[in-house]
């Protein structure tokens, strides 16, 4: 009786809220409660069926036989499965209906004929507030992220996607300074981030400075997030374009108390001199000594 008192638009709104491509039965059952609602939601049910079939196909590429298995999965891997931009965008729309997912791994060539230049961007653009609520590990290694994808990922994190993220693997992802500059504020706001892998990206001193030593905000702008990278333990910057200037910035940041939990820092294969790299490691060791002294 209460349902019958609602207008057609109100009933359709409820149907839309119940739509779940991985579990369409609830919405279909709701739409069958009366003939009028069944007629009103005909187009939506057809779209839901198409979304369900597309989600099932996406799950099969990751080895899942059913949408139920995908919905309940804690770990999902698409390793060189050739997900298209459309499939990555669809995966983004599923972020709100994958409550159990803890680890998401995507691996696809970041360069060459098989590269997909806007796939990650489209994925991130579809991740809404609270998407992937249990995910603590996101790996996009050997996947073209690029500066545009990094910016889109930053926006997704800003909307509240991946709120429990601890490990972010962006190795060989074609991210330059502009991408890291865009992404850095969002990373600094992640309360649980412990491991960050940026190996084999063309980023350099500017991007590194935005990550570890952001400039003060201009007058009138909101203050930067407090406690940025407070739990970061691991930072890999292997085969990037960091020079002596970037190393000096990193050393100064460590001396000032940035990244207090950092214990593993790799700077192999960068243009910086051995002396500059050594100064960074000296700063890290000195801080460890100071920390042990204070703890006594």
pLDDT digits (tens, 9 = 90+) for 95-151: 999 999 999 999 875 444 555 678 999 999 999 999 999 999 999 998 999 999 999
pTM higher than 0.85, yes or no? yes
Most confident of 3-17, 48-62, 173-187: 173-187
pLDDT at 110: 44
pLDDT-derived band of residue 84, with 50, 70 and 90 as boundaries? confident
More confident call, 73 vs 80: 73
3-state SS, one letter per residue, for 85-132: HHHHHHHHHHHHHCCCCCEEEEECCCCCCCCCCCHHHHHHHCCCCCCC
More confident call, 228 vs 171: 171
* Percent of the residues in the chain that have a pLDDT greater than 90, as a whole number: 63
Q: Are 168 and 135 contacting, i.e. CB atoms less than 8 angstroms apart?
A: no
More confident call, 215 vs 286: 286
Instruction: Determine if residue 227 is left, alpha or beta; phi over 0 gives left, psi from -120 to 50 gives alpha, anything else beta.
Output: left
pLDDT at 30: 76
pLDDT digits (tens, 9 = 90+) for 232-288: 999 999 999 999 999 999 999 999 999 999 999 999 999 999 999 999 999 999 987
Q: CA–CA separation, 200 vs 219, rounded Å? A: 36
- Asked if pLDDT for residue 10 goes beyond 80, the answer is no
- Asked if pLDDT for residue 292 goes beyond 50, the answer is yes
Read off the pLDDT of each residue in 68-92 and give the average, rounded to a whole number. 88
pLDDT at 219: 66
- Asked if pLDDT for residue 3 goes beyond 70, the answer is no
More confident call, 140 vs 214: 140
CATH assignment of 73-295, among 3.80.10.10, 3.10.20.30, 3.40.50.720, 3.30.2090.10: 3.80.10.10
Q: What's the gap between Cα 87 and its chain centre?
A: 17
pLDDT at 111: 45
The mean pLDDT of the chain is 87
Sequence spans of domains, the chain: 1-72, 73-295
Q: Which two tokens stand for residue 11?
A: 């009933």
């Amino acid at each position: 009786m209460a349902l019958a008192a609602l207008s057609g638009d109100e009933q359709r709104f409820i149907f839309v809220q119940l739509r779940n491509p991985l579990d369409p039965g609830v919405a279909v059952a709701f739409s069958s409660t009366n003939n009028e609602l069944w007629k009103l939601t005909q187009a939506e049910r057809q779209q839901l069926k198409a979304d369900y079939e597309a989600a099932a196909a996406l799950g099969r590429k990751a080895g899942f036989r059913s949408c139920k298995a995908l919905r309940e999965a804690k770990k999902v891997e698409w390793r060189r499965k050739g997900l298209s931009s459309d499939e990555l965008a669809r995966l983004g729309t599923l972020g709100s209906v994958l409550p159990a997912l803890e680890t998401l791994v995507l691996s696809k060539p970041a360069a060459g004929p098989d590269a997909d230049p806007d796939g990650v961007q489209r994925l991130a653009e579809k991740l809404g507030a609270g998407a992937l609520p249990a995910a603590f590990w996101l790996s996009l290694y050997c996947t073209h992220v690029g500066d545009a994808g990094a910016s889109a990922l930053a926006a997704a994190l800003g909307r509240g996607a991946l709120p429990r993220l601890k490990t972010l693997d962006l190795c060989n992802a074609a991210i330059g300074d502009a991408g890291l500059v865009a992404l850095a504020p969002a990373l600094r706001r992640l309360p649980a981030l412990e491991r960050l892998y940026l190996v084999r990206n063309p980023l350099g001193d500017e991007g590194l400075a935005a990550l570890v030593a952001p400039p003060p905000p201009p007058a009138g702008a909101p203050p930067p997030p407090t406690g940025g990278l407070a739990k970061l333990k691991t930072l890999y910057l292997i085969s990037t374009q960091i020079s002596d200037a970037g190393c000096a910035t990193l050393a100064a940041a460590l001396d000032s108390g940035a990244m207090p939990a950092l214990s593993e820092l790799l700077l192999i294969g960068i243009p910086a001199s051995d002396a500059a790299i050594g100064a960074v490691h000296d700063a890290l060791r000195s801080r460890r000594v100071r920390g042990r002294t204070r703890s006594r």
